[in-house]
Amino acid sequence: MTRYANYIDGEWLDGPTFSRNVNPSDVDDVVGEYSQADVQQTARAIQAARKAFASWSLSTPQQRFDVLDRAGTAILARKEELGRLLAREEGKTLPEAIGEAGRAGQIFKFFAGEALRLGGEIVQSVRPGVTVEVTREPLGVIGMITPWNFPIAIPAWKIAPALAYGNCVVIKPADLVPGSAWELVKIIAEAGAPAGVINLVMGRGSVIGEALVNSPDVDAISFTGSVSTGRSIAAKCVASGKKVQLEMGGKNPMVVLDDADLNVAVEACVNGAFFSTGQRCTASSRLIVTEGIHDRFVEAVKARLKTLKIGDALAPDTQIGPVVDERQLAQDERYIAIAREEGGTVFGGERVAASTNGFFLAPALITDTTPTMRINREEVFGPVASVIKVKDYEAALATANDTDFGLSAGICTTSLKYATHFKRHAQVGMVMVNTATAGVDYHVPFGGRKGSSYGAREQGSYAREFYTTVKTAYANA
């Protein structure tokens, strides 16, 4: 069994214990044993990052471009192998996993360019003889805490901008999927990041995550995960004066209007709700459908779901991989049972036997639901979507916005009037017309409103809002 160490100050160091990384498609397949860091190792990683910051923060944009560009090239060259590892540890289908690995490579290429593009402003002063410059500087040491559902893309979209703008990083990946982050950190080290600039500490959130959040030597925390963990991290960061950014859950609506192209609507909804086993923060878990198209839409979605092949993420014909683990599978089943008790009608949602011993669940479509049911208010985070029948566009928009979350929202319509109105009035960070609520570009901002996000946006050039601090300099000539 291969063992994988933490990466601290340019060295691979075993932690006191190891944790098994198990394939959710086949629990008999162990990907490897990954070191579990302790609080002392985490403190060492933070100190290494502090020390490295002195020179990395003053490195030239060309030096930072070179490291990120080489890392991007290596990720893209190895995307098939990295995708295979990702599919094995997380359960995305192989094409989805290779796509995610490729995305990580593109993100590094984009932020290599951003290192060169970071500019400032020269502004006329209101006082004679005085000039004003507005520039951006790196923050310092960034602690990163990431979830299990995008094991390489989320670490990439946090690490790449942090390094591009001159910060140093200590990252703690999700305990369920350390393998992809481990490979990513190795690639960045081999691309020439100096010792201490990037550090990896694997282990439990309640130990390693807390150590990062509580350390006075960490300047900022970038977190993606659940609302409850995010909120408690934010409270601690505010109390200690750390900059913090949270990306959390969703209960994303997809509106389907009577005038929608039925095929477009079915594909957008099936993709958005069920691909990647529904384990996306942007998944369309509420399908809000006007009454004129409702019955035809529901029948067409059911027919499409019957064609989907569920099974081993690595098998070439699989379209829906496993749920990530036993605990998440139990949570999905619990919500399906709750929806049934609340009066919903459940299609699918049963366990599926496959050729391997994994956590396979048939996609569940729940009809006859109302906006107040728990199934329409709480995030399930699995292949489960509900349908809410509404009278017209106005009711659909009101229902879409009737949620504590605000990450992504979509509408399927052929009406320019409704599409335009929805883009303006959906209370979310990302809005989609005739395309799935999940699936975004990497060069534009990502994030939401309300309970879904807190702090500056991630990705694209907007990432600089989090990873830099602004300085205003006055000079009297």
Q: How far apart are CA 266 and CA 283, in angstroms?
A: 14
Residue from 248, 339, 385, 390 binding ligand NAD (CB under 6 A):
248
Burial of 219 (0-12, 13-18, 19+ CB in 10 A): buried
| CA–CA dist 213, 243 (Å, integer) | 11
Catalytic residue among 168, 237, 269, 281: 281
Q: How crowded is residue 236: how many other Cβ atoms within 10 Å of its Cβ?
A: 14
The yes or no reply on residue 249 touching ligand NAD (CB under 6 A) is yes
Binding to ligand NAD (CB under 6 A): which residues in 272-331?
A: 281
Cβ atoms of 208 and 42 closer than 8 Å:
yes
Nearest distance from residue 209's CB to ligand NAD, in Å?
A: 2
Q: Please give the structure tokens belonging to residue 68.
A: 């990120």
Q: Is 299 a catalytic residue?
A: no
Give the single-character DSSP code of 138. Answer: E
Cα–Cα distance list, 208 to 10, 192, 309, 454 (Å): 19, 26, 38, 22
Taking the complex as a whole, the smallest distance from the CB of residue 110 to ligand NAD amounts, in Å, to 18
Q: Does 407 bind ligand NAD (CB under 6 A)?
A: yes
For ligand NAD, the binding residue among 6, 224, 369, 468 (CB under 6 A) is: 224
By the 8 A CB rule, do 342 and 375 touch? yes
> In the range 371-390, which residues lie near ligand NAD by CB under 6 A?
379, 381
Told to check if 26 binds ligand NAD by CB under 6 A, we report: no
Window contacting ligand NAD (CB under 6 A); options: 183-191, 206-214, 312-320, 389-397: 206-214
- Does the footprint of ligand NAD cover residue 91 (CB under 6 A)? no
| CA dihedral sign, ordered 267, 273, 277, 283 | positive
Q: What is the maximal distance between C-alpha atoms in the chain?
A: 78
The verdict on whether 281 is a catalytic residue reads yes
Q: Whole-angstrom Cα distance, residue 240 to residue 236? A: 6
Q: With binding defined as CB under 6 A, does residue 209 bind ligand NAD?
A: yes
C-alpha span between 447 and 246 (Å, rounded) = 9
Could you tell me which stretch among 6-14, 25-33, 92-100, 219-227 binds ligand NAD (CB under 6 A)? 219-227
Q: Does 24 bind ligand NAD (CB under 6 A)?
A: no
Using the rule CB under 6 A, is 159 a contact of ligand NAD?
A: no
At its nearest, how many Å lie between ligand NAD and the CB of residue 290? 27
Closest to ligand NAD by CB, 167 or 222: 222
Our finding on whether 145 is near ligand NAD (CB under 6 A) is: yes
Shortest CB 149 distance to ligand NAD, Å: 5
User: Bridge-partner residues for 470, per DSSP?
Assistant: 136
With CB under 6 A as the contact rule, the residue among 43, 174, 202, 254 that binds ligand NAD is 174
Least separation in angstroms between residue 415's CB and ligand NAD is 29
- Asked whether the beta carbons of 312 and 357 are under 8 A apart, the reply is no
What span, in angstroms and rounded, lies between the C-alpha atoms of 151 and 96? 12
210 vs 145: CA distance, rounded Å? 10
* Phi, psi dihedrals of residue 383, rounded to the nearest 5°: -80, 60
- 15 touches ligand NAD by CB under 6 A: no
Nearer to ligand NAD, 183 or 379 (CB): 379
Q: Which residues are catalytic?
A: 247, 281
Residues that bind ligand NAD (CB under 6 A): 145-150, 172, 174-175, 205-206, 209-210, 213, 224-226, 229, 233, 247-250, 281, 379, 381, 407, 452
